[in-house]
Structure 1
Amino acid sequence: MTTTPATERPPVLDRGVIPPLCTPLTPDGEVDDASLRRLVDFLVDAGVSGLFVTGSTGEVAYLTDRQRLHTLRTVVDAAAGRVPVAAGIVDTATRRVADHARAARDGGADALVATAPFYVPTHPAEIRAHFRALRSATELPLLAYDIPSFTHTKLPPGLVAELADEGAIDGLKDSSGDIDALRSVLEAVTAPRFRVFTGSETIADVGLRLGAHGIVPGLGNVDPHGYVRLQAAAEAGDWAAAEREQARLRALFGLIKAGDPARMGPYSSAIGAFKEGLRLRGAIAHATTSTPMVPLDGAERAAVRDHLAAAGLIEKGTA
């Protein structure tokens, strides 16, 4: 296997807030181009450092391959070089992910984000082979995406460090919620250009204090300014300010529980709440989610509205 050493590849995603974009949909389930472009402007104007499309928050598992590529191309065009764009290439097996990687490269992505293979249990030896094969498929910067709640496989910190130091991966998006494992990665990786991003909305300040370079928060769609302030406070070493901002964002994050668990799963509730928040803020036209997710009803949308008003993002009574 031939790879370009990580020490020779400048990080495309260096640090800062990189929201995993929601994918706005029309009422009939197609990508809403106008809303997607408006969302890009909303986030870039807030000061984010990059955009991550077709991730978990972007409903990647629900989108067709056509919709994935269309979403990426639209975001790349709307971003117009103002910030780098990373593309999620999530799928079940290496060859499928490699195909997504090549399509994303051709679609204008600046970087790629891939999980371990999933559906069947995956051994660390298979994960190692997977990321090495992806490195061979394209030379775009590649971030490993650790989200065991979806893949049912935790990326071992030692394996992450091994892949980082040999140049097979260029960064990590850690959505595991395992702070000790995050610390272990930060301590173990020796490649100086390797970048680590926390995917946590609620303990982002802790990840940054441990040495993470940035944040990839789903809630950053709804309140990008808050996470940009948190990141700036952390970089200035003003941890009291960072903790205050994090406390406000933790309270806002309660909106993901707006959906009634008796009639929908937590993913439907969270994505529906993010999209309703974006609709209330005028960033997208519709809060449509992919089928078979259950949409929020009137009372649940009102709960989202109350969270946004309490966080100072909208006026009380906004419809």
Structure 2
Amino acid sequence: MTLPARLGGVIPPVCTPLNPDGEVDDRSLIRLVDHLRDAEVDGLFVLGSTSEAAFLTDRQRRTVVETVAGHLGGALPLLAGAIDMTTPRVLDHAREALAAGADAIVATAPFYAPTGPAETERHFRLLAERTGAPLLAYDLPSAVHTKLAPELVLRLAADGVLAGLKDSSPDQIGLRRVITAARAHHGIRDRDFAVFTGSENTVDTALLMGADGVVPGLGNVDPHGFVRLVRLCAAGDWERARAEQERLLALFAMVRGRPSAIGAFKAALRLRGVIAHATTAEPQRPLTDADVEEVAKHLATAGLL
């Protein structure tokens, strides 16, 4: 599909359901897409951290994009992660994702090989130039060990290299600087640069600062809650928005003490009847029966079971 003039709202990073043998469960993936679409989310993001992209083979990555794109049929914007260590490898992933039906690419800074700010900037410029597709920067310093400086993001936005930013860093001051500068900078506004928070726990705060939306992993489990939250913020009903945010914050406690947040999300989706199995990619440890019981308690408290 053609992307809207500016992305925004709720764009969940879609979990990748797996069969017990570790292969992509396409039937469950389609049910999950319908679960999210029925909540009236504003787009989908596949092959991000919550999608376990780092664990998937190239074949599995393509299967995910083809399955989701084929099922959506252009009904929603589809963003695909092209996440790898170096520019040539990211370009390969990006081209595969676009050929499989993605509308836009999401990429981190390069990692593993030593790079500095100049190499990071060149990385994003080459990705935009050589794919010709809308490109969003994924600020994920916990995984790639590079924090995208606000000045770099804003320069790339002003030059038309970036269509958006997904900020999954803990740097709220940096996020505010990007939002404030983008709002004030006429050239960036004209290029329809969108800013998303990747934190499901501070959505109301980010939207109050002026962010365009959220990419919430927990949105797989409770997409309706995040859609309500964003709509309440858009309406200026901050008191009810705060209450919804706090309900989601309590639900997010399902990940605490678990082997992985993804494992908790998948257990919740299985309990809700959306996916058939809660299998996580190797070598992640599966949740214990006690872990699953705790997840079920959080779902029940949130009115989701």
Tell me if TM exceeds 0.5: yes
State the match for 2:220 in structure 1. 221
Cα distance per residue 1:202-247 (max 9 Å; x no partner):
0011011101101100000000000000000011111111111000
State how far apart, in whole Å, the 2-side matches of 1:217 and 1:100 are.
23
State how far apart, in whole Å, the 2-side matches of 1:128 and 1:12 are.
24
> Given residue 23 of structure 1, which amino acid in structure 2 is its aligned partner?
T
State the match for 1:101 in structure 2. 94
Q: Which segments of 5 or more consecutive residues in structure 1 lack a partner in the other structure? A: 1-8, 260-267, 315-319
3-state SS in 2 of match to 1:68: helix
State the match for 2:121 in structure 1. 128
Q: Matches of residues 109-258 of structure 1 in structure 2 within 5 Å?
A: 109-189=102-182, 190=185, 191-192=188-189, 193-258=192-257
Determine what percentage of the aligned residue pairs are the same residue: 58
3-state SS in 2 of match to 1:291: coil
Q: Matches of residues 45-64 of structure 1 in structure 2 within 5 Å?
A: 45-64=38-57
> Which one of 16, 24, 30 corresponds to residue 31 of structure 1?
24
> Given residue 146 of structure 1, which amino acid in structure 2 is its aligned partner?
D
Q: 1:12 to 1:59 in 2, by over 3 A?
A: farther
State the match for 1:91 in structure 2. 84
> Given residue 304 of structure 1, which amino acid in structure 2 is its aligned partner?
V
State the match for 1:299 in structure 2. 290
State how far apart, in whole Å, the 2-side matches of 1:245 and 1:77 are.
33
> Given residue 252 of structure 2, which amino acid in structure 1 is its aligned partner?
F
Residue 11 of structure 1, CA deviation = 4.5
- Give TM-score, length-normalised by structure 1: 0.91
> How many aligned positions are there?
298
Contact 2:3 2:77 in 1 (8 A): no
State the match for 1:284 in structure 2. 275
3-state SS in 1 of match to 2:260: helix
Residue 10 of structure 1, CA deviation = 6.5
Residue 121 of structure 1, CA deviation = 3.8
The answer on 1:271 being equivalent to 2:270 is no
Contact 1:158 1:188 in 2 (8 A): no
> Given residue 217 of structure 2, which amino acid in structure 1 is its aligned partner?
G
Contact 2:199 2:215 in 1 (8 A): yes
Q: Which segments of 5 or more consecutive residues in structure 2 lack a partner in the other structure? A: none
- Give TM-score, length-normalised by structure 2: 0.95
State how far apart, in whole Å, the 2-side matches of 1:313 and 1:119 are.
41
3-state SS in 1 of match to 2:165: strand
Q: 1:255 to 1:21 in 2, by over 3 A?
A: same
Q: 1:257 to 1:239 in 2, by over 3 A?
A: same
State how far apart, in whole Å, the 2-side matches of 1:255 and 1:196 are.
27
